[in-house]
Amino acid sequence: MIDLFDKGNKFSLRVKAYEFPSARDELDANWLVISIDVEHKGGEAWKACGPYLRTNELLRLLEWLRNLEAGVLPSKIVFTEGELAFSYSDDMQLAVILGFNLHPKGAAYDYSSDREFSVCFKVDDKGLVNLIRSVEKAIREFPER
């Protein structure tokens, strides 16, 4: 869904499945399992996976990206679980902000002393268009139920 590369940093995010594929209740039916794969120029690399995004948050992400494309800057979007957020600055820097279970420390994350981890990427207009298309595809594959 999302693939970012810049100066030794790499970030991939994929929507893998609905957490509860047979759920009928709106609250349970719309949780998504995502996986991330990260390489940070400092030499760190890690992967994580879990139910950290909802279908309505994919819709919010799409709207946020479209607003960026339209020039609404700077901006930040945060999701329900707090594991994942994005920010975009005036200088076309997209920061992927990872906390808790998506943090490089994973299960060793200490809620009292550790802070979120950011990986930054230069993303121009063409990059925003590609991100929008990728999120649209994920929404088609995992619609709100």
**Contact in structure between 93 and 118 (CB atoms under 8 Å):** no
Q: Which domains does the chain have, with CATH numbers?
A: 2-141 (2.30.31)
- Residue 103's Cα: distance from chain center in Å? 12
Could you report the per-residue pLDDT of 76-134, keeping only the tens digit for each? 999 999 999 999 998 999 999 999 999 999 989 998 999 999 999 999 999 999 999 99
What's the count of helices (H) and strands (E) in the chain, helices before strands? Answer: 3, 8
Residue 2 CB partners (closer than 8 Å, separation 6+):
11, 12, 13, 131, 134, 135
Peptide bond into 21 cis (omega under 30): no
Could you report the per-residue pLDDT of 93-102, keeping only the tens digit for each? 999 999 999 9
Predicted confidence at residue 107, as pLDDT, reads 87
pTM listed for this prediction: 0.94
Q: How confident is the model at residue 42 (pLDDT cuts 50, 70, 90)?
A: confident
Task: Extract the tokens encoding 87.
Answer: 């920010």
